[in-house]
């Protein structure tokens, strides 16, 4: 037997593989096997630290290039799992790719030889499935271990969130260089209420983006990238900046794919008060209120002032806007509009312009009582409404309850506006 053999060695330490699978032990085993059978070792290909669930590995790709160039006619691995742990892809290379390129494949430990006539090759699909299941089980165990560390308040990511450094024991520490940029980002958004606008201004100011920070690492000359709307929103919605470590905001689609999907806030793992905050809780909450209110928008235009804030006091349905003329708009109970004949609710409604005037007057009075200039509410704008008002309830007799996001000086969390029945 003679031939130009390539030895392929792979180790994935994060998968919990032991010393018996080490690169040195694989090399010694395969070199001895090739020598005993008269195979000339043309090259050794190594992927140290690469998972078997992906085939996009540098050593593996280099081996394929040599096969395409005709430099190899035999490939040796310690066992099938060294070639890969995805049974579909592993089967493709064993049953299609290697034969198509005239390459003999040998998995020494599993007694698999594509040129053998003793039927051992028939076991390869079963072994591939077992290796795949092993990878899935290891992936599940790793996820459980990482989840436990997240719930213990330890940061496990490779890079700390923008504005922080990763300290010992997974604790986040303030980064004095980038933390001021985070504060500036929050305050700009609070001043203007536009995610896209804040992204544009951060770019115009030449502030390092998170990717700039990771790539620069303080060495050499840095180039300033462009702040995207997605990056700004990710920072604005991350409770980590208020001192509450938040992880598990995204995950891989499967243990075989690197593609990640974003998770809803209900699946995030948040541990309160784990590190020093960059922004205050009040600032963070105010930003969330503005973002939540701005999600309710009419197609093709800005949302109404109270869209997402006004609800029927009896059935809980949102109050929707109905335009009677160019100058007159009403807020009407959506439950009544959709189910009036079913008597799901009654005809709650109120004039938009008069409601706005009452809200502006109440906010001005409260500001004056607190010693704050009230002219900022003339006219009342959507950002101010979202930041100050939690919800507005409209009763059947057109009495209005306004629940604020702060405690007014003379009320215990809410203030009632009484309307005349002629509104």
Contact status, residue 212 vs residue 222, Cβ threshold 8 Å: yes
**Residue located via tokens 């109404």:** 304
User: 286 and 304: one domain?
Assistant: no
Please identify, among 245, 262, 290, the residue that sits at the C-terminal boundary of a domain: 290
Mean pLDDT of the chain: 77
Are 200 and 269 part of one and the same domain?
Answer: yes
Query: Could you tell me if residue 156 is inside a domain?
Result: no
Domain boundary among 257, 290, 323: 290
Task: Tell me how far apart the alpha carbons of residues 66 and 288 are, in angstroms, rounded to a whole number.
Answer: 55
Q: pLDDT value at position 95?
A: 84
**Are residues 285 and 307 part of one domain?**
no
Is 192 within a domain? yes
242 located within any domain:
yes
If asked whether residues 244 and 318 sit together in one domain, one would say: no
Token pair in block for residue 420: 């005349």
Q: Between 293 and 415, whose confidence is greater?
A: 293
What pTM was computed for the model?
0.45
Q: Which long-range contacts (CB under 8 A, 24 or more apart) does 121-130 make?
A: 121/94, 124/80, 124/91, 124/94, 124/95, 125/87, 125/91, 127/80, 128/80, 128/87, 128/90, 128/91, 128/94, 129/87
pLDDT single digits (tens) 108-156: 888 888 887 654 555 556 455 555 555 555 556 666 666 677 777 778 7
Number of domains in the chain: 3
- Residue-wise pLDDT for 169-198, tens only, equals 878 999 999 999 999 999 998 888 788 889
Between residues 6 and 249, which one has the greater pLDDT?
6
Assigned token pair, 256: 């075989």
20 has a pLDDT exceeding 70: no
Are 71 and 174 part of one and the same domain? no
Question: Which residue segment(s) compose the domain that 48 sits in?
Answer: 4-136
In this prediction, residue 238 carries a pLDDT of 92
CATH code: domain of residue 175: 3.90.1750.20
* Domain-terminating residue out of 116, 136, 156: 136
In the three-class reduction of DSSP (H, G, I as helix; E, B as strand; rest coil), residue 204 is classed as helix
> Do 117 and 203 reside in the same domain of the chain?
no
Say yes or no: 280 and 323 in one domain: no
Task: Note whether residue 154 is domain-resident.
Answer: no
- Give whole-number Cα distances, 152 to 8, 145, 149, 164, in Å: 40, 11, 5, 19
CATH code at position 121: 3.40.50.1390
pLDDT at 266: 82
């Amino acid at each position: 037997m003679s031939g130009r053999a390539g030895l392929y060695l792979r180790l994935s330490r994060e998968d919990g593989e032991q010393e018996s699978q080490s690169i040195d032990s694989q090399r010694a085993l395969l070199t001895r096997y090739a020598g005993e059978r008269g195979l000339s070792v043309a090259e050794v290909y190594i992927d140290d630290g690469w998972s078997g669930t992906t085939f996009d590995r540098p050593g593996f790709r280099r081996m394929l290039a040599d096969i395409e160039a005709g430099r190899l006619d035999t490939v040796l691995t310690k066992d099938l799992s060294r070639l890969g742990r995805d049974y579909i892809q592993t089967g493709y290379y064993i049953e299609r790719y290697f034969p198509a390129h005239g390459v003999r494949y040998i998995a020494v430990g599993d007694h698999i030889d594509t040129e053998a006539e003793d039927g051992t090759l028939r076991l390869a699909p079963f072994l591939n499935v077992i290796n795949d299941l092993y990878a899935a089980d290891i992936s599940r165990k790793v996820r459980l271990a990482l989840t436990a560390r997240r719930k213990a308040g330890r940061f496990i990511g490779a890079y700390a969130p923008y504005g922080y450094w990763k300290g010992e024991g997974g604790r986040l520490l303030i980064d004095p260089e980038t933390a001021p940029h985070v504060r500036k980002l929050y305050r700009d958004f609070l001043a203007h209420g536009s995610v896209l606008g804040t992204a544009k201004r951060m770019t115009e100011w030449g502030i390092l983006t998170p990717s700039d920070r990771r790539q620069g690492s303080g060495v050499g000359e840095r180039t300033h990238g462009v702040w995207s709307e997605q990056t700004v929103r990710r920072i604005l919605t991350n409770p980590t900046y208020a001192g509450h470590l938040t992880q598990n905001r995204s995950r891989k689609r499967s243990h075989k794919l690197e593609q990640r999907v974003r998770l809803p806030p209900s699946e995030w793992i948040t541990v309160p008060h784990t590190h020093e905050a960059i922004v205050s809780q009040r600032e963070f909450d105010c930003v969330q209120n503005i973002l939540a209110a701005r999600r309710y928008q009419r197609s093709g235009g800005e949302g109404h002032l109270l869209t997402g804030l006004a609800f029927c006091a009896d059935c809980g349905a949102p109050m929707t806007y109905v335009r009677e003329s160019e100058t007159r708009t009403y807020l009407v109970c959506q439950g009544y509009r959709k189910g009036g004949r079913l008597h799901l609710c009654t005809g709650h409604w109120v004039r938009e312009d008069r409601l706005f005037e009452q809200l502006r007057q109440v906010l001005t009075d409260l500001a004056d009582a607190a010693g704050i200039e009230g002219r900022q509410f003339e006219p009342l704008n959507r950002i101010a409404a979202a930041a100050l008002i939690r919800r507005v309830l409209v009763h059947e007799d057109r009495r209005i309850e306004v629940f604020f996001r702060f405690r007014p000086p003379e009320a215990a969390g809410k203030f009632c506006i009484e309307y005349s029945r002629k509104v």
